[in-house]
Amino acid sequence: MLVTQESVVTEAQNGVGWIKLNRPHALNSLNVEMVAAIYKQLKDWKQDSRIALICIYGEGEKGLCAGGDMRTLYDLKENGVEAYAEQFFSTEYPMNYEIHRYPKPVVVYMNGIVMGGGVGLSIGASHRIVTETTKWAMPEMNIGFFPDVGASYFLNQMPGYIGRYLALTANIVKASDVLYTGVADCYLESKNWPKLRQAMMEKIWSLDSAEQEINQLLKQYSLSSSPPSSLLSSEQEKIDQHFQFETIEDIVSSLNTTAEKGDKWAEKTVNTLLSKSPTSLKVTLHQLQEGKDKQLYDCFEMEMNVAMNFMKCHDFYEGVRSVLVDKDRAPKWNPAVLEDVSEEHIASFFHYSWNNEQNPLTTLTGNKKYSC
């Protein structure tokens, strides 16, 4: 049984439901059609007793998924961007949430680029596989946006203040760090993926034993490989020292004080922060503070409001322009400095006036996480 969507290919075989992101020319970045197709298929297979296991992967060698298709939002700036954004986010976020609480094992092959929306696809899965080519990031700060797809929840689950650090710097990390932060479960050399995939395809899977048997297969194919030591683990003390503060200004001040004493890591980190949108920095820190005590579904509901308000924000379009359109990497943020971004302005991002007076994600309930 083979069903082909424009950018998603799904196939059911021997009890495995395969979902392939099939847009390699765009690094498998997600558009409305893709998230709708994935969401529908997940819901269909959830009820199908013939499907015991789900596997999600990306076509091509470059990566699982580079994120959401932000260029489309930019192009619609003057012509219906809020309607498109509402359709996109109100489908993507429930799709992400569905993976978090899926009643069957979900395997995600996180080879190559796994960023933004790609993180949203993988973070809630029960079996998350990284390789020597994995490049993981929440890069939204680079385009004047904010880390979404449930980041308010999962970044707060990372050790110490690493979640804040990765959100605010948008730094790219590799497999060892992805494992250290708890957002992946298994390391596999990419040369072994075809063998693992073939073994999964040849096996007859059943609901009763799928979890145990996928655990055994992953152990078998990953036995001979182990990632290098985590860089983030060696930086944990510095990260916690500087990113514990409750305002961006205090974080910057702490880093500057250490940089003035000759610390190159602090100097590089503060320069990275100051290159980002002041508005995005402050919204993101507030988002993570708000998300710390929220359930996952509440985080998605909050992020829906924030995402829609960014569709009215100068810095989002300027960020996309500088990275994806003109590619000059020279954004002109407005306001340009942290001091000019008021608390009232930041608070306004967390309230959005919906046409029917109800956030479309208020229907998300429960917070069951399938565990392997």
Query: Dihedral sign, CA of 92, 367, 130, 172?
Result: positive
Query: Dihedral sign, CA of 307, 311, 314, 318?
Result: positive
What is residue 56's predicted lDDT score, i.e. its pLDDT?
98
Phi, psi of 27 (to 5 degrees): 55, 35
Peptide bond into 103 cis (omega under 30): no
What is residue 204's predicted lDDT score, i.e. its pLDDT?
96
The answer to whether residue 59 is catalytic is no
What is residue 370's predicted lDDT score, i.e. its pLDDT?
34
The answer to whether residue 118 is catalytic is no
What is residue 367's predicted lDDT score, i.e. its pLDDT?
41
The answer to whether residue 11 is catalytic is no
Instruction: Given the residues 86, 148, 301, 303, select the one marked as catalytic.
Output: 148
Please list the helix, strand and coil fractions of the chain in percent, rounded to the nearest 5, in that order: 50, 10, 40
Instruction: Given the residues 117, 118, 144, 163, select the one marked as catalytic.
Output: 117
The answer to whether residue 140 is catalytic is yes
What is residue 355's predicted lDDT score, i.e. its pLDDT?
85
Instruction: Given the residues 17, 58, 67, 68, select the one marked as catalytic.
Output: 68
Q: List the chain pLDDT tens, one digit each, 372 residues.
A: 454 448 999 999 999 999 999 999 999 999 999 999 999 999 999 999 999 999 999 999 999 999 999 999 999 999 999 999 999 999 999 999 999 999 999 999 999 999 999 999 999 999 999 999 999 999 999 999 999 999 999 999 999 999 999 999 999 999 999 999 999 999 999 999 999 999 999 999 999 999 999 999 999 998 767 788 999 999 999 999 999 999 999 999 999 999 999 999 999 999 999 999 999 999 999 999 999 999 999 999 999 999 999 999 999 999 999 999 999 999 999 999 999 999 999 999 999 999 877 899 998 875 433 332
Instruction: Given the residues 140, 185, 301, 315, select the one marked as catalytic.
Output: 140
248-259 helix and 264-274 helix, angle to the nearest 10 degrees:
150
Q: Where are the domains of the chain?
A: 2-348
What is residue 357's predicted lDDT score, i.e. its pLDDT?
77
For the domain bounded by 2-348, which CATH number is listed?
Answer: 3.90.226.10
Residue that has been written with the tokens 């710390």 in this structure:
292
What is residue 363's predicted lDDT score, i.e. its pLDDT?
85
What is residue 227's predicted lDDT score, i.e. its pLDDT?
82
User: Could you tell me if 180 and 230 are in contact, meaning their C-beta atoms sit under 8 angstroms apart?
Assistant: yes
What is residue 364's predicted lDDT score, i.e. its pLDDT?
84
